[in-house]
């Protein structure tokens, strides 16, 4: 159907500079970052991703990271009609497994990282890795608009070497540990919720400053810099654009409030994702870390729950287990799996998510950090088979408003 829709809409992806991003963590932040770089440099850009789809400044709500193939080709056609020059797309493993991006002619494809997720679909990490690789093998040998296509790989991730063996296009690498990467970062520091590092490229060193924090975000920034470079934007213009990027809703989002503790909303729902966030928060000055977390989704990949719970308990002073998208599973069963790999008992169970957030704020003290993990900017909560409207940030604002009444 995707190939047919591609013909029907007269090959819209061939008329756009197409960036596809795949990996377990970092896709959303990287996609928004690249979108910001392109638009700051006066290139009207479309965006397809987890939080929403965007055509120019028009926002389109979504439930799937990557739409079904017919809808996807329709979105790309709308971008062309509305004079977009570029499209930045998150490409999920589900989309690759289900052939949703067949017919999409990518100029460059980015690999962020690979870790445990979606094994309810892929069954093994090998299958999961092979599915992600499809984005790169689909680049093909063809030139697009006279330019060679490009794969952008995180060379610090072990799977990049495997992918590189089968990629038919040009390869650009980025990293922190790999000093032989085309783009690499060192001298990373952050203070006052800003981050700085040195960017090394072609024997030159550039000073980079960003409002994003955490080593994991250095990788996202490096991927964004690579994409800008492939598009032909100067390194200096890319670095200047980074300074005005404020971040992504629900990704290490700092909630502005008059509370004497810091409130952070983050989508972290995988072991690697939660580790990245908690390691970052433990490096900033704080009293205690209170982590509120769900269960990586009911009726989904439950094998990550023991690691998820252990990471939360060992890297937080207090943990509140609650619901995110329980579907048909009981919270008690999910919590028993979350705590099965750790003998620490620094946790409380509050099944209703709003009440759990209220409780987190009640026990919050001066200079604590309250991390609300697992939902991010998702606009719904799945209970049973029903999708109920839900906004973490609006829920937090409502709770803060009610607290200020007393």
Q: Give the model's pLDDT for residue 203.
A: 94
pLDDT at residue 143, as a whole number: 62
Residue 13: predicted pLDDT: 95
- For residue 201, the cross-strand partners are 183, 204
Domain membership of residue 390 (yes or no) is yes
| Residue 326: predicted pLDDT | 87
Q: Does 234 reside within a domain?
A: yes
- Asked if the model's pLDDT at residue 233 lies above 70, the reply is yes
Residue ending a domain, choose from 243, 273, 300: 243
**pLDDT of the residue at 158:** 94
pLDDT at 120: 55
Pick the last residue of a domain from 243, 278, 296.
Answer: 243
pLDDT winner (highest mean) among 6-10, 165-169, 279-283: 279-283
Mean of the per-residue pLDDT values of the chain: 92
Say yes or no: 274 and 205 in one domain.
no
At 331, the pLDDT band (50, 70, 90 cuts) reads confident
Q: Among candidates 288, 280, 276, which has minimal Cα distance to 320?
A: 288
Residue 193 has pLDDT above 70, yes or no: yes
Angle at 352 between CA 349 and CA 353, to 5 degrees: 90
Residues listed for the chain: 406
Distance (Å, whole) CA 265 – CA 393:
8
- Using CB atoms within 10 A of its CB, is residue 52 exposed (0-12), middle (13-18) or buried (19+)? middle
Give the pair of three-digit tokens for residue 205: 């060193």
Pair 317, 341 in one domain: yes
Q: Are residues 262 and 336 in the same domain?
A: yes
Q: What is the percent of the chain where pLDDT is above 90?
A: 73
241 vs 39: CA distance, rounded Å? 9
Domain boundary among 243, 262, 296: 243
Give residue 406's pLDDT. Answer: 55
Q: Looking at the domain assignment, is residue 64 inside a domain?
A: yes
**Which of 108-117, 199-208, 294-303 comes out lowest in average pLDDT?**
294-303
* 271 and 215 together in one domain: no
* Res 123: pLDDT: 59
Total domains, the chain: 2
- Determine, yes or no, domain membership for 225: yes
Q: Do 209 and 311 share a domain, yes or no?
A: no
CA separation for the pair 124, 136 (Å, rounded): 20
Q: Kindly indicate the confidence band of residue 299, based on its pLDDT and cuts at 50, 70 and 90.
A: low
72, pLDDT greater than 70: yes
Q: Cβ–Cβ contacts within 10 Å for residue 398, how many? A: 14
Q: Across-strand partners of 266?
A: 373
Q: How many whole angstroms separate alpha carbon 280 and alpha carbon 231?
A: 31
**What average pLDDT does the segment 116-142 reach?**
74
Q: What is the CATH number of the domain that holds 187?
A: 3.40.1190.10
Cα distances (angstroms) measured from residue 1 to each of 4, 133, 143: 5, 22, 25
Residue 98 Ramachandran class (φ > 0 left, ψ -120 to 50 alpha, else beta): alpha
Contact 59, 52 (CB under 8 A): yes
Q: Are residues 294 and 318 in the same domain?
A: yes
One domain, residues 267 and 382: yes
Q: Does the pLDDT of residue 100 top 80, yes or no?
A: yes
> Residue 108: beta bridge partners?
19, 150
Stretch 224-251: mean pLDDT, rounded? 97
pLDDT the model gives residue 125: 80
Is 80 exceeded by the pLDDT of residue 339?
yes
Q: Which residue did the predictor score with more confidence, 71 or 144?
A: 71
- The yes-or-no verdict on residue 159 having pLDDT over 90 is yes
- Residue 119: pLDDT band (50, 70, 90) is low
Q: How confident is the model at residue 141 (pLDDT cuts 50, 70, 90)?
A: low
pLDDT of residue 138: 78
Q: Are residues 38 and 82 in the same domain?
A: yes
d(C-alpha 216, C-alpha 214), whole Å: 5
Task: Report the alpha-carbon distance of residue 276 to residue 217 in Å, rounded.
Answer: 9
CATH number for position 388: 3.90.190.20
H-run or E-run covering 137: helix 125-137
Q: Among 61-65, 92-96, 265-269, whose mean pLDDT is lowest?
A: 61-65
Per the CB < 8 A criterion, the answer to whether 17 and 149 are in contact is no
Domain holding 321, by residue range, is 253-403
Q: Residue 93: what pLDDT? A: 87
Residue 248 falls inside a structural domain: no
Alpha carbon distance 382, 142 (integer Å)? 43
- For residues 31 and 153, membership in a common domain is answered with yes
d(C-alpha 97, C-alpha 366), whole Å: 47
Q: For residue 63, what pLDDT is reported?
A: 75
Residue with tokens 């479309």: 46
Least confident of 33-37, 47-51, 55-59, 294-298: 294-298
Examine residue 109 and state whether it is found in any structural domain, yes or no. Answer: yes
Is 141 inside a domain boundary? yes
DSSP string, 147-160: EE-EEEEETTSHHH
Claim to verify: residue 175 and residue 195 sit in the same structural domain: yes
Judgement on whether residues 349 and 377 belong to the same structural domain of the protein: yes
Give the gyration radius of the chain's Cα atoms: 21
Q: How far apart, in Å, do the first and last CA atoms of the chain sit?
A: 58
Is residue 294 pLDDT above 90, yes or no? no
In a domain, 325, yes or no: yes
Rounded percentage of the chain residues whose pLDDT exceeds 70: 94
Cβ neighbours around 367 below 10 Å, total:
12
Two tokens, residue 397: 């604002």
| pLDDT value of position 297 | 61
pLDDT at position 350: 95
Q: Examine the domain organization and report whether 23 and 97 are in the same domain.
A: yes
């Amino acid at each position: 159907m995707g190939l047919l829709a591609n013909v029907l809409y007269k090959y819209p992806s061939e008329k756009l500079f197409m960036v596809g991003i795949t990996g377990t963590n970092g896709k959303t932040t990287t996609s928004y970052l690249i979108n910001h770089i392109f638009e700051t440099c006066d290139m009207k850009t479309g965006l397809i991703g987890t939080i929403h789809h965007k055509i120019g400044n028009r926002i389109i709500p979504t439930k799937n990271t990557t739409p079904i193939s017919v809808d996807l080709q329709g979105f790309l056609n709308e971008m062309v009609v509305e004079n977009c020059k570029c499209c930045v797309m998150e490409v999920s493993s589900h989309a690759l497994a289900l052939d949703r991006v067949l017919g999409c002619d990518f100029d460059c494809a980015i690999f962020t990282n690979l870790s445990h997720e979606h094994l309810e679909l892929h069954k093994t990490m090998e299958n999961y890795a092979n599915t992600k690789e499809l984005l790169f093998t689909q680049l093909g040998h063809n030139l697009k608009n006279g330019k060679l296509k490009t794969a952008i790989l995180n060379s610090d991730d072990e799977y990049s070497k495997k992918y590189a063996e089968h990629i038919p296009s040009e390869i650009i690498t980025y990293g922190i540990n790999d000093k032989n990467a085309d783009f690499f970062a060192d001298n990373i520091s952050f203070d006052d919720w800003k981050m700085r590092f040195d960017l090394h490229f072609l024997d030159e060193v550039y000073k980079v400053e960003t409002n994003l924090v955490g080593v994991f975000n250095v990788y996202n920034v490096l991927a964004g810099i690579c994409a800008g470079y492939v598009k032909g934007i100067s390194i200096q213009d890319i670095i200047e654009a980074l300074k005005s990027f404020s971040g992504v809703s629900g990704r290490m989002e700092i909630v502005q409030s008059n509370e004497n503790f810091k409130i952070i909303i983050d989508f972290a729902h995988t072991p690697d994702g939660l580790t990245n966030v908690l390691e970052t928060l433990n490096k900033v000055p704080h009293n205690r870390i209170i982590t509120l977390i769900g269960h990586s989704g009911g009726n989904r990949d439950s094998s990550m729950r023991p690691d998820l719970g252990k990471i939360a308990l060992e890297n937080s002073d207090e943990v509140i287990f609650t619901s995110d998208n329980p579907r048909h599973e009981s919270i008690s069963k999910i919590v028993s799996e979350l705590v099965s790999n750790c003998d620490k008992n620094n946790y409380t169970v509050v099944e209703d998510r709003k009440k759990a957030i209220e409780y987190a704020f009640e026990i919050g003290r001066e200079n604590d950090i309250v991390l609300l993990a697992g939902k991010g900017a998702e606009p719904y909560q799945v209970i049973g088979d029903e999708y109920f409207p839900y906004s973490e940030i609006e829920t937090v604002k409502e709770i803060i408003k009610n607290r200020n009444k007393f």
